[in-house]
Structure 1
Amino acid sequence: YFEQEMMVDGLNAIHSYLWMAGSKGNISPLHRQVMIGRTIVITEDPELHLVWNRGTIFIKPLPPFLVTEEFWRILLDSNGSSHESLRHLANGFLKSYSRLIVYRSDFKIAKDLGLIPYENLGFEDWFNFLHHRRIYSCPPDSVNMRYRYGELRLYRLNWIYRLFKFQHVYMSLDTSYDQYFSRWWPFILFVVAWVSIALTAFQVLLAARPEN
């Protein structure tokens, strides 16, 4: 259950190409997301957490177990690669939230949107919890690979999947054929232009050849 709430295998599969879709550590606080006109949309899919598309950014609410001492006690008392992987996922997810919630205004936005699970959790409690878990000073090798990057652009993720994974898309959010085909127009126009130039060059070469 814990891993299903945080697994990002789809993004880890293209980790070496994520630089094409976003920058390392690039996560704007919630108040800035609002300031630049982005619509914050709740998603329960961890693969969409901090993915943005057309003025919309998807954010997964903080799983309630992440802020419980019992969960962290289980992780710290357990050994094995599976628990280490889970620790890295938890560290990475909390690291992303430490960037999203920086000021009291961010915390209020998170509360209003239902991103924070507990009503009685205050800003100071949140701040102290992150310090207690040493999230602010968490080194890169103790977080999941995905969370070494911040916000990721969906359009570019889809192209990475097409070019390097030979799959149709990473994630499709199109609701109509018009939206679907509009995504392909730049590529189609590029191919048509390239073929047109190649044919023209070929015709010029043929015309320039001396007749026997």
Structure 2
Amino acid sequence: MKPKEPALTEDELRSILPASFRNGNAWVGPPHNRVRYFLASDLNMDKLTEASAYFFVLGKVKSPRPLHYQLALGLEIQVSERMDTHLLWIKDKVYIKPLPQYLLEPKFWSEYLDCPKSCPYASDFQLLRESGLMRRSAQFSQEVPCEHSKLWKCAMGFVYSYVALIAHESDFAIAKSHKLVPGSLEFHEWKLFVDRMLRGGKLYGQIAERFTYGELDLARLNTVMMLHRPLRYLSPWGGDSDSFFPGHRFSPLPALCAAVATVLFSSEQAKLVMTRLKENKGLVLVVYVTCIPSPLYCSRC
């Protein structure tokens, strides 16, 4: 039996985790003594998951394009520490979350991201992870989903996106210049990390659904969210929680139209129509662009 590796010390955790994090609206503190709370915040994609049914409208099922290609397209890299904004693009910008040091540490994966033995789904977690079938299993039980699998799939998907973003040494240089990777990391070390993560060819089967898509259109995403929760967008107290970036201000007219559209599309007949439209993605895009002109979704402050 393989001996268990010693746990990461407090100093080691301090060296690979951020200086502080927010746990709720009021509490700010160090992450090294609240690691699991920190991970629940740092790997949180709940808001973006609300739009998962419309991912096919927001982007394509493919890996993100390398960083050198992003720049060649004229996109400016904007650093964002929120996971739910990673690889969202709008106009001439693409938002990218830096790869944290803790995801480069194997002991951190086994200690904090792997399913612990105390979890009732630990054996299922290990079996699905080794077989590369985790992405197909939203939960291990019909009654209670395994929270550890949720964090694992997000972390693996995030790493998968970086494997695609940093393919060449030129991509690595761009990542270093924008502080997207730790400053101490060297390109040969990055290649070893990629080789370890891709070993076995099962990485894709362990990632969250969001990461099966590449870059997502932020303009369309905000419109989808407005359609999904129109009353929130009509509320004057919405603030930052209602849009992915506070710099986007929504006009009340399209929000009101969205509210009416949501009511109309709540019938079973409309749901049947939407189901049939989804089978013809090209048609959906035509309807989407025609019904909601892009200049209406928001205006710059």
Check whether TM > 0.5. Answer: yes
- The correspondence for 1:106, drawn from 171, 182, 205, is 171
Show CA shifts across 1:116-168 (max 9, x none). 0141x211211211221237933544111211211011110011112233342
Contact 1:39–1:56 (CA under 8 A) maintained in structure 2: yes
Gap change, CA 1:117 and 1:22, over 3 Å in 2: same
- The correspondence for 1:6, drawn from 22, 43, 51, is 43
Q: How many residues were matched structurally?
A: 185
Name the CA distance, whole Å, in 1 between partners of 2:79 and 2:102.
18
Deviation at 1:12, TM superposition (A): 1.2
**Percent pairwise identity:** 30
Contact 2:85–2:95 (CA under 8 A) maintained in structure 1: yes
State TM-score, norm by structure 2: 0.55
Matched, 1:78 2:116: yes
* Residues 14-29 of structure 1 mapped to structure 2, 5 A cutoff: 14-29=51-66
Q: Where does residue 34 of structure 1 map in the other structure?
A: 71
Question: 2:187 is aligned with what amino acid?
Answer: F
Deviation at 1:172, TM superposition (A): 3.6
* Residues 61-140 of structure 1 mapped to structure 2, 5 A cutoff: 61-74=98-111, 75-76=113-114, 78-79=116-117, 80=119, 81-119=146-184, 121-134=185-198, 137-140=201-204
Contiguous gaps of at least 5 residues in structure 1 = 192-212
Contiguous gaps of at least 5 residues in structure 2 = 1-37, 120-145, 234-241, 259-289, 292-301
Q: Where does residue 144 of structure 1 map in the other structure?
A: 208
Contact 2:115–2:149 (CA under 8 A) maintained in structure 1: no
Contact 2:63–2:161 (CA under 8 A) maintained in structure 1: no
Contact 2:101–2:182 (CA under 8 A) maintained in structure 1: yes
Name the CA distance, whole Å, in 2 between partners of 1:13 and 1:94.
22
Gap change, CA 1:136 and 1:8, over 3 Å in 2: farther
Question: 1:21 is aligned with what amino acid?
Answer: L
Name the CA distance, whole Å, in 2 between partners of 1:173 and 1:26.
28
Q: Where does residue 153 of structure 1 map in the other structure?
A: 217
Deviation at 1:45, TM superposition (A): 1.1
State TM-score, norm by structure 1: 0.77
RMSD: 2.7
Give the structure with higher Rg (CA): 1
SS of structure 2 residue aligned to 1:57 = strand
Contact 2:197–2:203 (CA under 8 A) maintained in structure 1: no
Name the CA distance, whole Å, in 1 between partners of 2:177 and 2:54.
35
Contact 1:49–1:60 (CA under 8 A) maintained in structure 2: yes
Deviation at 1:26, TM superposition (A): 4.2
Q: Where does residue 199 of structure 1 map in the other structure?
A: none
